[in-house]
Structure 1
Amino acid sequence: MCKTAKKSILFPLLCILTLFFAIACESSSARSKQPINLTKESQRMHEKAEYLSSAQHYLGLSQNSHPAQSLEYQIMAADMFVKAGEPTKAASLLDKVSDSALDVNQKIFKQMVLVELALARYNPKQAETLLQNIPHQANLPEATRSRVLFLQARTYEANDNYLAAARARSILDELLVDQQSQRINRQAIRQILNKVPEHVLNQALQREQYPLAPWLSLAYIEKSISNPAQREQAIYQWQQQFPNHPAQAFLSQNLNYPQYQMAANNTQAQQYYVAASGMSPRKIALLLPMNGPHAKAAKAIREGYLAAYYDNASGQKPSIQVYDTTLENDVIRTYQRAVNEGADFVVGPLVKEEVIRLSQMPTYALKTPILTLNEHPQVHSNIRSFVQFSLSPENEADQITEKARSLGYRNASIVVPNNSWGKRLSARFRDSWQKKGGRIVSEAQIEPYKDTAKQIRDLLAIEQSQKRSDTIKYLIKEHVEYQVRRRTDVDVVFMALPSAQARQIKPLFDFYYAHDLPILATSSVYAGNPNSNRDRDMNGIQFIDMPWVVNAKQSRVKKLINKQEDSLSGESSRLFAMGVDAYDLTQSFNQLQQSPNAMIDGATGQLSLNADNRIQRKMTWVKIANGSPVLVQ
């Protein structure tokens, strides 16, 4: 616990509070307990992460406190303003707090908030300089030391000093007591070390000591050994060397290799051996609806999967069999038949309802690894062998709001079609944006047979501006030069429209004085193939899409598509790319499960496996310039 300084009455509060926010800011679900005498209102705001309200609350308290307490409340308010995305207000407050009026503990707290402020303003060099003004950790209270270590980790990582960042987090790990905070911190250590080149890891192993050394050793094994069987053996030896290390939680259970070798010689045990040991599958079953309303999508995915399969130059290839899920109209029966016929890996199903049905099977019946080709929000799998992979537009919406927040935007408008898909995306934009502290100020749900121009005028509040002009002219009875303006309380527009509608809407934004308003859109706005004459009306729109669409490094997919007898474009080409990635995920399935920080440069995005056993796709940002898509650097 923190020791109270004589001059600082509130410092025990600050020590615990700094630790609370140091961990909580990494995950909205990571919440520290509040073993301090906060007011009920303060507790409520902390629990709900209402940072702006908290800032105003502390400012109010500062006005009714004696000078020493007032200064601490002002620093606390500045801390909340930083977390609320209001760095200017935080800086203004801190400028008014003179160091000469602060005791030692208050100075440290102010310094920590200044570091947070520098990071919020994307100035990690300044943050590192400010960190040097904080006394050595050994002389700090434990909670304060925890926050300093957390700030060091963030600052060093922002400055690409990954070893120093991992070292700070490994020390921090021994101070954390909350299991959720520990899990987040440990996952961050592995993700940071994944960015360190292999030769640098090897050099660091020669000099680093506990607590970072075991983390380095594991990272080096995962990065330097490509052969699955050899990597498993090395991980097994690491587990024996560090039996109580926290990284054990990220690895599969200790493998008894002689026992698995016996299982490998037993045909009936083959599926379990593949799942547990990381051996490449021998027979893959593709569960796809080859007839009915989903047949076109199924065909594109199948062609992509097989194209990647034949493009693989490896000498040893599994056999592949396609199972039509529409024949028996029972996905569980189809799955069981595939397994009974020797499949040791299943890809599919494609239809959401079938994903739900398969996920409801008992755990013992899902020994054979499954990579589904769709996902459902109701399915939260804790079965390691059941992984969901999809081209979810909701995932795009999350990445769009993340991008907008990183650019400092706060107030957004939404433009979607007036249908079930559009309403789904609108709800996701709202939820994702508000969780990041943003505000939705207006929305247009576009209907093709209504006056689209009026819908955009209403979105931008053009009519209100025109009415103000008319009122002024009426009141002064003279001719007045008045420029109609769009509303100014919007920083960014979130757009999810079909490409044809997007081409109609963007010129309306330009016409109604919003040519400078940033538009961040889903991949739906782009038809999937370049056509500068068609797309020049969308100049300026930034959208998120699969890397292969615009990235020359992803020429493999284009080459494979060009080999197809049937032309593929638009949505079919994206599904083809999904099939290519599904094959690559099949081959890298065990690597992703062994290493939570492992990532695949796929055709549909940078692919990784999250804690909910879903494949996360980090997509590429693109901007329409002169009618053509170009990478956003």
Structure 2
Amino acid sequence: MALLAALGLGACASMPQSANKPREAPAPATVAPVQSSAPEALAAQAQRLQQQGHDLAAAKAFIQAAGETRGDAQVAYLLQASQASLAGNKPQVAVLLADEVLRLAHDPKLRGEALWVRARGLMNQGQTDQAKGNLEELLTIDSTPPQVRAEALGTLATIFRNENHDLTALNFLVQRDSLLAGPDKAENHRRIRALLDAQSSAKLKNWQGRSGNPIVQEWLAFALIARQNPDPAAREAAFAQWLQQHPGHPAIHWSASGSLPSARADARGDICALLPQSAPYAPLSQALAAGLETAAQLRAGPPIHLIATTGNPSFTSVLFQRGVQAGCVAFVGPWLEQDIRAVASVRKPSDPPVLSLGEVQGLTQSGLYQLPMGRGDAARQIAVDAYHAGYRQAAILYPQDSSGASIQADFLTRWKQEKGSVLGVASFIPGRGSLNGAVQQALAGVSGQDSMVFLVAGKGDLAASVAAIRAVNANIPIFVVASDAGDGLPSLPDARGPIYSLETPWAMHSEPLDSKARSLLHQELPQASPAQWQLAGVGLDAYALTQAILAQETTDPVDGVTGRLHFGPHGNIHRAMHWVQIGPGGAQGLAQLPAAGS
């Protein structure tokens, strides 16, 4: 098939990628491509690659499997290839593959899964209008799983809310409510309350005559009752009376504490947060928002006004301008590179300051501050601190995946700026086979006490990587960066030579916070992943930095929970993280990096 050839290795490698998201490294010339064989064997290989986190390699294997078969099996492999491409940050490839599935498939279930991939791929490219149509069609398919249906409804609500079609957004949120439970349902109630609280009473009364959904009618009635009855006891009595007059309506558990700070109709005096709400960013944005809101409460500073972005840069710039008109005193975000550039292009010198959650190389503007969030920040600090500690020669070893290539490139660029020399560079396939060949290639020219190894590795490969390095050189210092955000640093039984790393104290433990802050964050994020917990710390620090910016106190560093934060001359924020040494007992803090040869 022509499409399969067009979407092979070359196409996947050439497609543009979203900013600030890890990129998968291209396979080096010495690694052979996936060989054609029985489609079942290719599919099994693709599944193993997916389990190891190699989404793009898995997509290519699924494409090859599709090329070896026909009929329903071919369509299923194409669908899996589109899903893997989306997971591997290739939304354009994912959309093209989903288009092929939709052309070939007649099974509603397969069509629904393809529509879901296509919608998310379009959203990741900022094409919200096309994604909207796919999401709406997805909702008409009976086999759509409840979890997917709930996420699609939530995404549609965000899109229509940002387009000022608030009643339509309310209908989607209310439909979504019946599919949720527990914390997800509580968060959906907060979104409904935020939307209702942002409307005038006259508009709510107008909506009562326009909506035919009885549950929407109930939410509208309760919103008006809450405004007319500020006394909690009177309000509850009015709710009960309304339910008596309208038998058959479920209790929606309206709570006065359910609204978000963003629920007010204006943002005068607020710090506004421009955060993406589309997958896969929504749970991470939730963690950032939790950190910002917790800091606002603890510091008794300006409240947070959340503004959901969709991945469409043009619309993000419109949302920024609306925030300026609504009275925002400062902005935290945007996060994505294309959104940061879009906001910078429309921002005027008289507009409030912006603290972006990401760094765009070469972009400087008075009043624009940039807080880096990637693992490259640690790689660059290792390059600077190691050189200043007397190291001059580095061997580099990194995994052939999206994160590893980006991290080693950040280290290499800064290391060369510091005038350090490179002894050798080698890569390895995570979780597969021996590392001895790659290690010997990287360490071939190592000599002298000013030599070091810069190692990028995930949890599953760290011990094996260290063992392979020690088999070649028992004492050379190793500097480690975890390849995935949220990865901790495990203990290492074989630690003959020194093993150093940089980690934020927040990622290692929660000592930088007092008990009240920890309690508040655990309430907001009761089942947070390591990556969410890390980003909650970034949210805490972003609020502290914004307060310093508003107070024009940018000469002194800010002691944050993710490290010591310094304002650079052009608005770039530099994070100084804590040095740790890894050994059999885990990671132990160091006052400073020891000198080379000590």
* Structure number, greater radius of gyration: 1
TM-score norm. by structure 1 comes to: 0.46
